[in-house]
Each structure stands twice: as structure tokens, then as C-alpha cells.
Structure 1
Amino acid sequence: MLKIGVKANRLEMDPPLSTHIGQTSGRGNNHIPADDTTKEVPPTSSKLPSDGIMEESVSQMTIMLSNILEHHGRANQCLASLEEDLIHSKRKEEKLKATIEALEKQKSEMNARVALMERKDLYELLEAKMEGFQIANHLVTIEGFENLNLTITQKWVEIAALNLKEFEKCPMDYPKALCIAR
């Protein structure tokens, strides 16, 4: 069994758990012969043949680790870019919300203007109708207006009834018919 550890750029190997006859012990080239005569064979070199393989494995692992770190750096850059895009999108969303609110405000203002113009048109029609009737000043009073028996449409009556407050604002010497018309 091999246990690899790197200490000061040197690889170390642990000896096998049991040494069998006819096998190397894992520490150098010491060989235990099959017969009982034991000879010690001096090691031929201090570097094991497997040291080159281990160094190559370590260099490959180092390269793999640097590649992983490089990919990690790229992933961090992509994440930062996505965060910037998200912030930019949120700003655009806020601008669009503000634009929508402004457009809704303009729409409500335009609706109010249209309603005012329609009301003004109705007032002008009422004025024309009242001028067409040519009601005398002495016939038109607040009490008398309700009893006035003229053939006008219900719409004109409703509009005139809404303007009863205008009757009250008219000066006493001002013709009431003109008060209705304005």
C-alpha cells in the first residue's frame, strides 16, 4: 500500500504492511531471496523509480488545480457581471415605473380636461337653448323656475337644476336667464 505525502518537495512512501519472501520491501532494492541465505544488496540509488511518476502526478495535479482556480476566477467574473446586469435592470424597471406613473397622471388630467370640455359644451348648448326661449327677467326666479312649463328636454332641466347655485350667486338686478346661460 502506498501513502503519498509531499514534504519539502520530497515524496515519501510507507513500507508495505507485510513483507513476503521474494518481494522487495519497498525501501530500496533490498531483495529477500527464496532460500535461507540472506544477502544484503546495497541500494543502487537514493531515488526510487517511482519518484518520477509521483513528481509527474504532482505536476499534473498542480496544473489541474491552477485550471480549477482559473475557472473559479472566470465564474466569479461572470457572477459580478450578472450582478451588474441585475442592478442595471432594476434601474430600468424603476425608470419605467416612474414613466408609467407620469403617463397615468397625464391620462387622468386629460380625462378631467375632456370632462370639463364636455361640460362646457353642454353649458354652451344650454345657453343657446335659453337664448332661443328668450325668457323674460320677471318670469325667471328660483321658485318660478321649477314651475316654469317649457318644453325642453330632461337633460337641460337636469343641467339647469345643477346650476341652481348659480341662480343664487346672481345679483338681484342681473337677469336670471343670463345667469342660467353662463
Structure 2
Amino acid sequence: MAQAQRRRMLAAVVQAVAERGYAATTVAHVIALAGVSRRTFYEQFTDLDDCFVAAYASGLAGLQQAVHEATAGAVGRPLAERVRAPLSAYFATLRAVPGAARAFSAAAVGASERVAALRAQALRQWVALWRATADDCRAQTHGPVTDTELLAMVGGVEELVRDAVQHGADPADPALLEAAIGFVRVVLRAR
């Protein structure tokens, strides 16, 4: 029962932050959406930030797993497919969790130091996931792709999502995926 309550609270904090923004979300919003008592909330989390960090970490883990699996599944394919597969998985995973794009991309920036540290760690992990594809691109184009360029690329894709949700666009819009694919192909020099 405690695990089910925890899952409901994690989903509720994502929904509340997506609807209100991080700064305007309170524990009261989360417990109302999750259908749990304040006492139950504090049995699981020290405060709202602790709950959001847990939800953010869980969401990032799901995104990274989907992208990692897509990347592994595209090994040996043409570079265009190796670029499309992980980005398609990224956008599909965001689409599958209502509010995730807004909560984890738009609202997470400026949240807390813990969230900022988790986001920085996630960006480094995204760079590592893209390294093999970047190295293969370099072999084809004879131009090195640095970790700094990969970090800018990953941040650029995240900014596309953040900008879309901040302006009321659907992060699942196929045009957004195509824009991200085009951008990544330019950075990786994947023709």
C-alpha cells in the first residue's frame, strides 16, 4: 500500500507542477491529487522538494532507459536511423506521461539546487548516451564531435521541448521531433 501511495504522490507532484509551476505548487496540492493524508505524505517525503526530486529522478530514469534501449537497438543501422531512434523514444516517453514535458523541462529549471544538480547529472548522462553515435559520425566526416558540442546539442533539444510547452504547443507534435532530428544531424554531422 505504501508503494501505491508513493506512486500516486509522484504522479500528483508531476501533475501539480505541470499545472501550477514549481514555485506555486504546495504539499496540499499534491495530497489532494494523490488522495493521501498529509501524514502519509510526510512518512514518505521530507518536503515538497523531496517529492519532486523523487519524481524527477524517476522520470529521468524512464526517459534514459527508453533512449538507451532505442540507441542500443539502432546499433549497426545507418546514422540517420541512429539519430531518429533515440529522439523518437525521448519524445514518445514524454508523450506517454501527461505533464512530464512541462514538469520536467519547463518547471524544473529554476526549481531547487537538488533539481538543478539532478538535471546537470542527467545532461552528462545524455552526452554519454550520444557518444558512440557521435564517434561514428566523426569516422564518416573526419570531424571530431566534442563533449561540449554534445552537451549543447542535448541542451538544445531540451530547449525545443521547453519552448514548446511554455508556448502551449504539444511536445508530441511530429514537427518538433523532426526539428530535433534535423538539429542533431547538423551537430553530429550525420548526413
Whether the TM-score (by the shorter chain) exceeds 0.5 is no
Higher relative contact order (CA 8 A, sep 6+): 2
TM range (shorter): under 0.3
TM-score, scaled to structure 1: 0.22
Q: Return the index of the structure with the highest Cα Rg.
A: 1
TM-score, scaled to structure 2: 0.22
